[in-house]
Amino acid sequence: MIINNICKKKKAFTLTETILYMSLFVAIFAALFASLNIFYSNKIKNRTILEVEQQGQIISMLIGQEIRNAQSIISPVAGVSANTLILEHLDILKSPLSFYLLNNKLMIDENGSSFNLSNSNVVVGNLIFENNSVINEAQSISFSFDVSYNSANSKNEYKYSKVFSGTVNLLKK
């Protein structure tokens, strides 16, 4: 009799309660893991987009600045498109100044000294310069290029590319 009373007073989890609590714990953990995974994927995608956007804007500004500060356009000639731009710069130490692609990197050559304008996180392609100049008018160059994120990873978070373009007039000196 005493043993029966002791067993009745002792409280414990039943198998059903244990399974219920475990399934609730698993559901909460799965939801938390899915949320963190989405958060991490969005963080990577935003970083990828930001890198491409920043590199494209920086390159566009540098090209535009050098075109505006040039004395004249050597190549391409008026009405022609080319993948290389050669400018006669006002600064003799920079002249001739040229832009071109080398191994998916945008290069600038200042009087024989070459520098990379893009970093290793991006790939630059489809570089085109078009001389829109009209004889006896302001000299003008249109340019366009693609910037893509450089990653060996095939996940969607690492894929982003954008076309950048602009038209710049040389300042009259």
Give tens-digit pLDDT for 19-45. Answer: 999 999 999 999 999 999 999 999 999
The pLDDT, as a whole number, for residue 3 is: 57
Residue by residue, DSSP assigns 69-117 as TEEEEEESPTT-EES-EEEEESSTTT-SEEEEEETTEEEEEETTEEEE-
> In 3-state terms, what secondary structure has residue 56?
helix
Please give the average per-residue pLDDT across 112-122, as a whole number. Answer: 91
C-alpha 118/C-alpha 103 separation (Å) is 11
User: How far from chain centre, in Å, is Cα 71?
Assistant: 32
Is residue 144 within 8 Å of 163, Cβ to Cβ? yes
Boundaries of every domain in the chain? 45-169
Percentage of the chain beyond pLDDT 90 is 65
Please give the average per-residue pLDDT across 101-125, as a whole number. Answer: 92
- Residues 6 or more apart from 102 whose CB is under 8 A from it? 114
Please give the average per-residue pLDDT across 10-26, as a whole number. Answer: 86
The pLDDT, as a whole number, for residue 97 is: 92
Distances (CA, A) of 23 to 14, 18, 19, 35, 38: 14, 9, 6, 18, 23
- Range in 63-72, 125-134, 164-173 with the lowest mean pLDDT: 164-173
Reported as a single tens digit per residue, the pLDDT across 131-160 is 998 877 788 999 999 999 998 888 888 899
